[in-house]
A and B are shown apart, each in its own frame.
Chain A
Amino acid sequence: MADLTKLAPGAAVLLQGNEAIARGALEAGISLAAAYPGNPSSEILESLADSADSAGIHVEWSANEKVALESAAAASFTGLRAMASMKQNGVNVAQDFICNLNISGVRGGLVLVTCDDPSGISSTNEQDARFISRLASLPLLEPATPEECLAMMRFAFELSEAIGNLVVLRSVSRLSHTRAGVVPGELPAGRALPYWDPKTRWFTVPVVPRHQVMLDKLARARSIMAASGFNRYQGPDRPDLLVIASASSALYAAEARRMLDVEGRVGILKLGCTWPLDEDMILSRLEKASHVLFAEEIDPFLETEIKALYAQNAPRLGVMNFFGKGSGHLPLIGEMTPGKLAGAMAGILGLSWLPVAKDYRLQATQLAQGMAAPRDLAFCPGCPHRASYWTIKQTLAVDGRQGIVSGDIGCYTLGLHPTGFERVNSVHCMGSGLGVASGLGQLKKLGFKQPVVCVVGDSTFFHAALPGLINARWNRSDYVLVVLDNSATAMTGFQPHPGTGVTATGQPGVAVDVESFCRAIGLPAQVVDPYDLGAAQEALYDALQQPDGLRVLIFRRVCALVQGRRGGHPWRMSVDEKLCRGEDCGCHRYCTRVFRCPGLVFDEARGRAAIDEVVCVGCGVCAQICPAGAIKAQAKEDAA
Chain B
Amino acid sequence: MTQASAASTPPAACLDRLRQEVLDPGLCVACGACLGLCPHLLLYDGQVAAPDPCGLADGRCIDLCPQNPGPDPRQRRAGLQAARGLGDEAPLGPVRRAWWGRAQAADLGGRAQYGGVVSALTALALEQGLIEEAVLTQAGQRGTPEGVRVRDREGVLACAGSIYAAGGSLQALNQALAEPAEHPLGVVALPCQSLAAAAMGAHPRYPAGRRLKLVIGLFCTMNLSARGLRQVLGQAGVEGAVTRSDFPPPPAGVLVVTTRRGVSEIPLEKVRPITLKGCAFCPDLTAELADISVGAAEGSPGWNTIIARSRTGQDLMELALAKGLVEAKAVPEESWAHLTAAAAGKRARAGSAREEINHG
Contact = CB atoms under 8 A, between A and B. Distances in A.
* Whether chain A touches chain B in the assembled complex (some CB pair under 8 Å): yes
Given A585-B14, A593-B9, 13 more contacts: A398-B48, A398-B49, A399-B47, A400-B47, A418-B8, A421-B51, A422-B5, A585-B60, A587-B38, A589-B55, A593-B55, A626-B39, A628-B178
Nearest to A393: B51
B205 A398 contact: no
9 contacts: A397-B51, A399-B47, A421-B52, A422-B6, A541-B45, A585-B56, A585-B58, A588-B38, A626-B39
A397 B19 CA distance: 12
Given A585-B60, A593-B9, A625-B39, A398 B50 contact: no
A398 B47 contact: yes
B163 interface: no
Nearest to B8: A418
A607 interface: no
A586 B37 contact: yes
A24 B54 CA distance: 57
A590 interface: yes
B40 interface: yes
A587 B39 contact: yes
A398 B39 contact: no
Contact of B54 (A394, A398, A588): A588
Contacts of B48: 398
Contact of A590 (B8, B39, B58): B39
A397 B40 CA distance: 11
A398 B38 contact: no
Contacts of A588: 38, 54-56, 59
A334 interface: no
A585 B38 contact: yes
A253 B49 CA distance: 58
Contact of B37 (A400, A422, A541, A585): A585
A394 B42 contact: yes
Contacts of B51: 393-394, 396-397, 421
Interface of A: 393-400, 418, 421-422, 537, 541, 585-590, 593-594, 625-628
Among A537, A541, A585, A625: residue with most chain B CB under 10 A: A585
Contacts of B49: 397-398, 400
Contacts of B47: 398-400
A593 B59 CA distance: 16
Interface string B94-120: 000000000000000000000000000
Interface in B4-38: 5-6, 8-9, 14, 37-38
B52 A594 contact: yes
A590 B37 CA distance: 13
Nearest to B39: A627
A585 B205 contact: yes
What is the size category of the interface that chain B forms with chain A?
Answer: 20 to 34
B223 to A, nearest CB: 17
B45 A590 contact: no
Nearest to B61: A585
A541 B54 CA distance: 24
Nearest to B37: A586
Contacts of B5: 422
Contacts of B40: 590, 594
A593 B53 CA distance: 10
Nearest to B36: A627
B254 interface: no
Contacts of A422: 5-6, 8
A589 B49 CA distance: 19
Nearest to B55: A588
Nearest to A583: B56
Contacts of B54: 588
Contacts of A625: 39
Among B8, B39, B40, B48: residue with most chain A CB under 10 A: B39
4 smallest beta-carbon distances between A and B, as pairs: A398-B44, A397-B51, A397-B49, A627-B39
Contacts of B38: 585-588, 590, 627
A594 B51 CA distance: 10
Contact of B59 (A396, A400, A585, A590): A585
Interface in B50-106: 50-52, 54-56, 58-60
B160 to A, nearest CB: 28
B266 interface: no
Nearest to A627: B39
Contacts of B350: none
Contacts of A398: 42-45, 47-49
A396 B14 CA distance: 22
Among A422, A594, A628: residue with most chain B CB under 10 A: A594
Nearest to A596: B8
Nearest to B57: A585
Nearest to A425: B5
B303 to A, nearest CB: 39
Interface string B313-338: 00000000000000000000000000
A242 B45 CA distance: 72
Nearest to A428: B1
Contacts of A396: 51
Nearest to A542: B142
A593 B52 CA distance: 10
Contacts of B59: 585, 588
Contacts of A593: 9, 55
A541 B46 CA distance: 13
A183 to B, nearest CB: 45
A218 B306 CA distance: 98
Nearest to B7: A422
Contacts of B8: 418, 422
Contacts of B56: 585, 588
